Structure 1
């Protein structure tokens, strides 16, 4: 051991003891300096990816994201599994149940002016068959292709929404359908809704030619304004987009249905 210590001491350069010590003349400690961003060759684990996509969907539903055109590419399988699986159905049922509890708790006036407003697409009618052929939101929205789907008139009912729809009708609400669909699609929309089980609505409000360039929030706010001017009280509103529910003249209470496939401002 004594010999080993002497060996180490003799190995240290004599410049260490000099007052004019220059560290650049000696081997310096090896310090690994990482770049601020490190590209990894390893894909994220399934668990981590699911957490990120769940967080993204939460931000969508709480309206915390800026306007977006498509779902994140890495979340394609996640969104598909969600909307085609049990989770989406359970979420839809929860919204319908809570809305029904609220509707039942209200004492309606005798003048017939109490209104429940429903959006149509992804609120009453499901376009999942269309989005199944278009990446569940991975593709940029194509209005021409979507109109072709609309004119087929085969969109199925969202069952929990149909139950809520029938409940509010039986309670005595006036039912107004307020949709971003074009006035040109009135006939096929009426046919599709009726075929899917929706009947006895009081008004079906669509976009006229002067409304086509308006953002959905503006268009629907203006239509709700007109309802109020006519003396109606908007007690409930159901929609899958925040633009269905926000803006001026909102309902007393609104119910947001889940939709991670697309965003309408």
Structure 2
């Protein structure tokens, strides 16, 4: 039996690795096994409260596609809130962990292994909502990949559907402002998630665990206004952005921005 991989490989120059394909190699089994230690489901549920459930219910959404399921936290939360959920991820290791986590909580996930850029080759249905959470969109390093993924999300939504996508507050990091101090997403005890290197096209984060192990992710530092513009250019008609689940906030304060992008034409009939 093949042993789980415990070592990430970024080659001789880790800062040169700026590739949308890399995420599948980054989420090795050793890292995925520790991911829930990093997140802490109970603490995250308390920090988020009913935010995503309320956003979906306000828009009348019932059928949801979770395109960046990770280890399954949001898929399970939404299932337990009564939504019909399809769980997708580009990492088969993450998808297997999500299925295992849900089964331990008494749920059987409907899972799809899918690359966002060709999402509709794998997902053959229309949804009221697509969610892309956990800072996942920043795995795409090329603008063409980001546009393609957003267009695929748009295409799988019903005419009045909504895309909910979050991102870390990279503006604060890029502009060397005071770093956010809240810890809404990484709530685990004795775990640190910190930027090791940030420039205009790379944010390399280090995740340090209490047993001395450490892993990295190389991500693209998306600016908030850039993501809003891309969403509109792809066709979304209205984009509302929240900071750490609040409608009003100081720009440098939130850890995360959450964009709610609506497909329906403003003032239209659907």
TM-score (norm 1): 0.34
Larger strand percent: 2
Larger Rg, first or second structure (1 or 2): 1
Please report the TM-score for the alignment, with normalisation by the length of structure 2.
0.34
User: Which has more helix, going by share of residues?
Assistant: 1
Larger RCO (CA under 8 A, 6+ residues apart): 1
